[in-house]
Amino acid sequence: MFATPQPIEIDVGCGKGGFLLWAAQARPQSNFLGIERKLVRLRKAEKKIQRLGLTNVRLIRVEASYCIGKLVPNDSVAVYHIYFPDPWPKRRHQARRFFQSGFVDDLHGTLQKGGLVNVLTDDESYFAQIEKLMAKGGRFVRTAPEQLPPAAMTEFERIFREQGKPIWRSRYVRLNQ
């Protein structure tokens, strides 16, 4: 998939590529895969990648949970970036949330030992659910979140910060199990 074998970082729901493009330029020693379901967003990210001449980025249009559960090989990912997954705030819709126990199993299986999962959300109750799911089973340990420069912000993060909303962030490390 990539010309140079390097650690792979996956941006889940990469949108128009705000974080993805920053990361690919800032970390040329890594390869990046952007997963996005919406074609319009993916096309915008692709144009930016082409304009910048980035060779360490690939994009795929697919449902992220399917991609991670069925297409990503085991023990192959160094870092997942999951920024602002849809919170589905209504109680009756919460089963549609991205973070479910099966998804956490897939993250664990596809991450390399010591691999990272970075999470950002503006929804406090969803963050609490993510914390519980990631702590369950002792397969991940929570560590201090990565501190990123303003240039790395996603479009949603910019919007939420302008609205004065708090942002919850965490980082999880896959334990050697």
- Catalytic annotation, residues: 86
CB 134 within 8 Å of CB 171: no
Task: Mark 1-33 as b/e (b = at least 16 C-beta within 10 Å).
Answer: eeeeeeebbbbbbbbbbbbbbbbbeeeeebbbb
Task: Mark 126-155 as b/e (b = at least 16 C-beta within 10 Å).
Answer: bbebbbebbeeeebbeeeeeeebeeebbbe
CB 39 within 8 Å of CB 14: no
| Cα three-residue angle 103-131-42, rounded to 5 degrees | 50
Q: Which residues pair with 9 in a beta bridge?
A: 32, 79
